[in-house]
Amino acid sequence: MIGTFLVALTATVFAPLQGGGLPEVEVTELAKRADLVGKELLVDGRVIYYHVHPSRGYDEIELDLTTVPLVLPPNLAFKEAPKQKSVRAQGTLKRQGNKLVVEVRSLQVQAPDLERFEAALRPLPAGELPRRQGWARWALRRAAMYKDEPLLKRAKEVEAECVRIEAATPEVKTPDAVVAVARKARQAKVAEPTPSAVAHRGLLGLLAAARKPDDFQKLATEVEELFPDSKRVRGASPTGWAQTLAAYRASPEETYLKADPEIRAALDRNLLADVREKGLMAQVEARPSDAFELATQARTVLPDRPQLAIQLRDRGLTAAEADVANLRESEVTNLARQFEIADQPDKAKELKRSWLNNQRIRKLGPSDAEGRVGLADKYLLWLQDKATAVALLNEADQIDPQSAIESFRKLGFRKEGGRWLEAGADRPTSLAGPAGDSDRPANMGEDPLLGLTTDEVLARQGKPSYRSIEITQGNIVIQWVFKTGGDSLQVVTFVQKPGSPPTVVSRFGLK
């Protein structure tokens, strides 16, 4: 009977928690719980010794980690001590005299725990989760009880495998859900690097879906929480970093799992850096005017990506250049310095000229002599553009003869016959004309429109697109604006003094 029983039981491996609803009790609890006395239960434990009694055979089993033995009825007693060192028994916990015993009703001898574990896993489909998780928990518990390192190692491998299977199930559809699986695995103290590898896959999905600055900020916080060391800036990239990144982008989870600790730490940092970089770029797209502040921020939080700060700075320069009309003078000088730092001196001059030209056409009123003198000073100081400065001073002189005296003298001009002449220059005879020509501005021969009347300009240029007129200091100041193609403009300024027709005192172009 025993032989038949052994043949039957060795072909069967009981799964954890089976037994027709009977409680399965750890061997360590048998002697501690008085509430179990008199109850039928399941016991699964490792054998220290099979005890033999004359005429009864091996009918008592001493288990590891408990003082409560298993007592076998005659029909279950062994003639020879089994080689197996694990048993699974169903019986009733009873008190015999001053000691507790389990009176066994059925018994199975078991293979060693590691073999038993592998045998239970072998028939499971590749993606099967609940039974695999159950066996992993069983193995972890047994390994902890018996301090079984080989079993513990294998149990942790299977537990990690379960995390990856769960993260790939149809129920886990979103990157958020994948990260949630990784967090749960971390809380359960599943062995690394599996939780982190799964987290990387989920976080990369969130990064791909992020659009708004707030999305990136939230994601950066999550990355830092999961990988605190990712905030630490590292030295030179590990050997083969380019190839590692290429593999990571193609298969993040697999690459992370196979990487050594140094590479994994670098991948953690790279993930946070990617999130922060894209977050900064999203911010600059939303608010280009913040580009310089963001470039400073990039130098602080991402010193390992110096090109990002340069990229943001350049984005800021481009945005500011496009919005030059709305800049204050201090902002213009600061931006010009930024262009010079970026080794773009021509851009710096172009920005200054654009701003000055905009001030000239849009900010100066027709009768603003003082404004013209101030702007002339800036053309000289910023651009060394003497010709434009002199034209502005001429306009100011025509509006208010007292306004430009000091500025003309600083340039070495002298007033002769009602005109300002540069030192050493003779009065140009080619410009002698009708009475009143002596009041025409200095160096007017440089522009064929200078000194012409409104009718003469109409004959040459046609009708202007816009006109303005102001009366100041007894003079009439007229400005005509012509569109010359695209966004380009040409501004012609006339001054009419008492008793004389309006004549051109300056002309300049703007883009």
Tens-of-pLDDT digits for all 511 residues of the chain? 333 223 233 333 333 434 467 899 999 999 999 999 999 999 999 999 999 999 999 999 999 999 999 999 999 999 999 999 999 999 999 999 899 999 999 999 999 999 999 999 999 999 999 999 999 999 999 999 999 999 999 999 999 999 999 999 999 989 999 999 999 999 999 999 999 999 999 999 999 999 999 999 999 999 999 999 999 998 888 999 999 999 999 999 999 999 999 999 999 999 999 999 999 999 998 888 788 889 889 999 999 999 999 898 888 778 777 778 888 888 888 888 878 887 888 888 988 988 898 888 888 888 889 999 999 999 999 999 998 999 899 889 888 889 999 999 989 998 887 788 887 665 543 333 333 444 445 444 467 888 899 999 998 889 998 888 877 767 788 889 888 877 778 888 888 888 888 988 888 776 6
pTM exceeds 0.95 for this model: no
Q: How far apart are CA 81 and CA 61, in angstroms?
A: 10
Long-range interactions of 403-410: CB distance < 8 A, separation 24+: 403/369, 403/370, 403/372, 403/373, 404/369, 404/372, 404/373, 404/376, 407/373, 407/376, 407/377, 408/442
The structural domains of the chain, ordered by start, are 2-161 (2.40.50.140), 173-286 (no CATH), 364-510 (no CATH)
State residue 41 phi and psi, 5-degree precision.
-155, 175
CB–CB of 274/285 below 8 Å? no
